[in-house]
Structure 1
Amino acid sequence: MKGTAWKFGNDIDTDIIIPGRYLIYTDEERLSQHCMEGVDDKFNEKCNKGDFIVAGRNFGCGSSREHAPIALKGVGVAAVIAESFARIFYRNATNVGIPLLEAPGITKIVEDGDEIEVDMENGTITSMNGETITFKKLPPFMLEILEQGGLIEYLKNKR
């Protein structure tokens, strides 16, 4: 996968990803219009399908709202790459089909707006300056869930 990296800092909580006033909505389209509004009110206009969010530690902390990964999916984020993730956000993102890649050191090699390439099979991320970093590869069952578009679709197809 190739795309633009949109870089954010540490402790990006779910209220930054999708502010609480939009929790009355549940559809991807409506939520995507306000994705990352807490730090960049133009993010939904800049982000293209297949782009990446790169962040520091503890991405997705805060409340356990599923709206946050739904907003990311709606805006077209291919994956979130961070130093670490909040545990419940990790599970919610997997459930809706957003890959989360844990890559310690990623914020040192990627800058906002850089083009990066993610190789899921080999567990590598290559920046536009040629630096490569590894991430914790996802287990096959999780890749299958993500390929199906999330847990519900995965379970429907398991019958």
Structure 2
Amino acid sequence: MPAARPSYFQALAAERPDIALCRASAVVAKAGEAHAAATELGVGQHLVLKMLDAVGDCAQQTLAAELRIDRSVMVTVCDDLERSGYIRRERNPKDRRSYAVTITAAGRERLRTAEVAIPGFLAGAFAALTPEERVQLTTLLGKLLATGGASE
């Protein structure tokens, strides 16, 4: 019996890593959104809480830039987190045009709860890869992101 021929998309992905990466990113993003819906904490919300917990208070613009979230989307993310009592926003005393964002005790607790589910989510989202391949993928993606890829 002849070997199965790769699908058109498999052949295309082998030829065009940009397309493969975009499609893989969409698959992982969809899984991430499903996970976020199940845990009732959006991906952007999770990232904001995680960064605030790690680095402390910072400007909303800094959060947007560091997490690569569009500034207009960041406003909505912060609005939702503030309504839930997970963050506080106050005028930045160093720059009255910006907001200083602070994680609250409730936000830290919500983050801890959400973090418990992450290993299971990652195991499912990357089940097709061995642990070594996941490390390799993470390393390669880190290199692409560090150089900015083609453009941002």
TM range (shorter): under 0.3
Relative to total residues, which structure has the larger helix share, 1 or 2?
2
Indicate the structure (1 or 2) with the bigger Cα radius of gyration. 2
User: Given the two structures, how large is their TM-score scaled by the length of structure 1?
Assistant: 0.22
Greater relative CO, 1 or 2 (CA 8 Å, sep 6+) = 1
User: Given the two structures, how large is their TM-score scaled by the length of structure 2?
Assistant: 0.23
Relative to total residues, which structure has the larger strand share, 1 or 2?
1
